[in-house]
Every structure is written in structure tokens, then in C-alpha cells.
Amino acid sequence: MTAATAGGGLRPSWLRLAGAQRRYPLLQVAVLVALVLYVGQADGDFSWNDLWAPILLQASFLGIAAAGQTLVILVGGLDFSIGAYLVAGNLLTTHLAGLEHWNFALVALLVLAICVAGGGFAGWACHRFGLEPLVVTLGMSSVVVGALVGTDTKLLNGAAPHWLQGFTQQSSKTFGLPLPPIVAFWIVLAVVVTLVLARTPAGRRLYLTGAGPRAAGLAGVRTARVWAGAYAASAVLAGLAGVLLAGFSTGGDTNIGNSYLFPGLAAVIVGGTMMGGRGDYLRTCLGALIITALNFLISVLNLDSAVQQIVFGALVLLTVALYGRERRLRDRV
């Protein structure tokens, strides 16, 4: 057998593996399993309370925060204002609901209004004027945080309602099961977002806009509305994550968004969702679990934050290198 023949025999196998990886996140699953097993081995504990439940709990916050970023990336954009809406949800919940004793529904409506207005405007402006999403969302981030903290520094005081604290604690149970309610909520959210993307006209319009905006426009898709809707949804989901984090943290924190902005983006990309209408939220959930397990590994090995940033960056570069070599859908049509 010649080298050419041998190479020809190997090539179809690699092509089949590449095709399987495009359809199913096999590599990500393997990496996640390896990370969890290594963390359990290094820590000497594979119990539910000391390994599995903490990973799921931490991943749930990251997964919810990254849900909106998934939608924005699918449509072809980026959202760097997620941290600001996290801060908005966190501060307004701890102060208004916890300290001022507002009705929680009113606080939730206020957070919703801020997120829909800010996110929707950013998405519309990016599409309408052809602006760079990175610049627009960074500017919107400064506006939101500045308007909140600059007008009332008392927002930094307060604590979340007791029921919300119980909802986000690892020791809480769901219908008698040793599953934190926040994790159960994340599972339900993952199902809902997946069904919306895969089974509804709104999901199809989002994928069409990301895969080929001109073709989508010619097909009757109002791409401006899709962009505005995607960014509004991203802001709302980030605000929701901030509200939930208010129950998990001890009080308001203006820097809480920084802990979820880049890790959330890394979770989306590492999961395999890329710009141009390819991917889904389940891949982001898998990416959130990988990033969280990696954080646990770094903690077990007593590595500093600089190593964490290097590893996150390397993972993102590796994922982009693997998926970026494929021709985009719009180039194949």
C-alpha cells in the first residue's frame, strides 16, 4: 500500500469525524468529562455535594448570562453590554426589593424595561447605521452603569429577598430532589430557548439573518427587527442573571458583570456556536459547564487568575481555529 493510498484511506475517516463534530459537540463532551474526572481525582471527592452540585450551580449562572450572547452571535453580532445589565439586575434587586421592600414583580418589570429599551436600541442602531456592535454595546454599557450608580450610590446597599436567596443556594432542593432550584430553572430555560430556536418562525428568522442578511431580507425577513429583538433578549437574559445573582451574593456589586462577560463569551465560542447562523444554546450550556469545570481545576491546582485568562484565551483561539476553517453557509450557497 502506497503512502497516497494510506492517506486516501485516512482522509475519509477524518472527514467523517469532522462531520460528526459539526453535528454533535463530541470534542466538547470529551473535554468536559476529562475535566470533571480530573477535578474529582485531584480533590479526592466525587460526591454530589462536593463536586457535581457546585459545578452545576456555578455553571447555571454563567449559562443564563451567556444565553443572550448566543442569540446575538447567531445573528452575527457581539454584545459587550451584558455586564451592565447584570449589574442593573443585581443592584435594583438588592436595593429596591431587599432594602426598600418594593414588590418583587415591580422590580422585575423595571429591570425588564431597562434591558428591553437599552438592548433593543443597541441592536437597532447597529443594524440601521451599520455601526460596529463592539463600540455600540460598550457605549451602552457605560450609559446603563453610569445612570444607575451615578444617580444613587445607595443602590450599593441592600440584600435580596430571603426566598430568592433560597432559590439560588446549593442546599435548597427542587421537589424534594437534591437539585438546587436555580439549576432546575436553567434546565427549563435551556429547553425553552432550544425549542424557540429550532421550532419557531422567530428562531428560523434569526438563523436566516445570521447566515445571510441580504438573502434573508430578500426573503421577507425584517432583519432590523431580528437584530433589535436579539439584542433586547440578550439584555433581558443578562438582567435575569443579575437578579438571580442578587440572591446568591451578599449584596449589590458594580463589578459583578466583569465575572461573566468574557467567560460568557468564551462559553458560547467553546461550546461551538459561531457567527453566521451556526450553533445552538445547548452547545453554550456545554461550554458553560466546561468553563466552570476549568475554574474548579484552576482552583484545585492553586493557579492564579493570570493562568485562568491564558487558558480561556487559548480555548477560544483553539475553537475558532477548528470551526473557522470551514466555509460559512453564506459562502456555500
Which pLDDT tens digit goes with each residue over 87-115? 999 999 998 888 888 999 999 999 999 99
Predicted confidence band of residue 55 (pLDDT cuts 50, 70, 90): very high
Q: Are 95 and 78 in contact (CB under 8 A)?
A: no
| Residue 151 in grid coordinates | 444617580
Residue 174 β-bridge partners: 177
Average pLDDT over residues 155-162: 77
Domain ranges of the chain: 34-323
| Residue 136 in grid coordinates | 455600540
Residue 277 pLDDT: 60
How many Cα atoms sit within 13 Å of 104 on the Cβ side?
A: 14
Residue 174 three-state SS? strand
Q: Is the pTM of this model over 0.85?
A: yes
Q: Per CATH, is 34-323 categorized as 1.10.3470?
A: yes
CA distance 9 to 118: 54
| Residue 62 in grid coordinates | 454563567
Q: Are 45 and 162 in contact (CB under 8 A)?
A: no
Whether the per-residue pLDDT at 328 is higher than 70: the answer is no
Residue 95 pLDDT: 86
Average pLDDT over residues 60-73: 96
Whether the per-residue pLDDT at 185 is higher than 60: the answer is yes
* Nearest CA-CA partner of 228 in 330, 90, 81, 128: 128
Q: What is the mean pLDDT of the chain?
A: 87
Residue 331 pLDDT: 41
CA distance 31 to 99: 43
pLDDT tens per residue across span 120-157:
999 999 999 999 999 999 999 999 998 887 655 566 67
CA distance 116 to 54: 32
Residue 184 three-state SS? helix
CA distances from 113 to 85, 107, 135, 176 (A): 11, 10, 22, 35
| Residue 302 in grid coordinates | 492553586
